[in-house]
Amino acid sequence: MIHETAIIYPGVELGENCFIGEYVVIGYPPRGRRPGELKTTIGKNAVIRPFTIIYAGTVIGDNFQTGKGASIREDNIIGDDVVVGTHSVLEHGNRIGNRVRIHSQCFLELATIEDDVFIGPGVIFTDDPHPPCPRYKECVGGVTVRRLAKIGGGVLVLPGVTIGEGALVGGGSVVTRDVPPFSVVYGNPARVRKRIDELECFRGFYRRVYEWQE
């Protein structure tokens, strides 16, 4: 279903069984590009909620979902089963794996996000160490988040930082340096506090936290 108020530009390929809500724009040409010049692909079973805008030059897999008012710029490559929450902004150059959850009001640019990553609401990934440097693309670059990592709400991650596989970043942290795999970090600046396998399920549902991923 494509709502009558949605705008689908030339060069857009939609898979089967997609829901495109009110006032959605897909295939919007970036500055300096003509309508239809860049191809835009969205896989099957997408749910694109009202007021979302997806620029031309983006490739998105199957079962994609957005909240209301998400903004996805050009040159994003997004895998299958990804959710981008309400009013989140994906600037150009992100590479996002499969089964990634990006909650509401997040900001990503030039980030690499591997499979099965959870990103809480209000997370900001930065990419320019000395803004507004005219040569920032040649400098440190964006954040890398390895598979199975979890990032709590309101976290700020500085340019070039890598968050290791399976790590957990506590809410409100400022991450200024690389996070080791399977570690728990929090604070400003974030520091290693313990390992994932030391966390306990306080309700007693599991022997330990994230046991279900083993």
Active site residues: 130
Going edge to edge, which strands form the sheet with 144-145?
12-14, 40-42, 59-60, 77-78, 95-96, 112-113, 144-145, 162-163
Decide: 96 and 127 in contact? Cβ < 8 Å: no
Secondary structure of the chain as H, E, C letters: CECCCCEECCCEEECCCCEECCCCEEEECCCCCCCCCCCEEECCCCEECCCCEEECCCEECCCCEECCCCEECCCCEECCCCEECCCCEECCCCEECCCCEECCCCEECCCEECCCCEECCCCEECCCCCCCCCCHHHCCCCCEECCCCEECCCCEECCCCEECCCCEECCCCEECCCECCCEEEEECCEEEEEEHHHCCCCCCCCCCCCHHHC
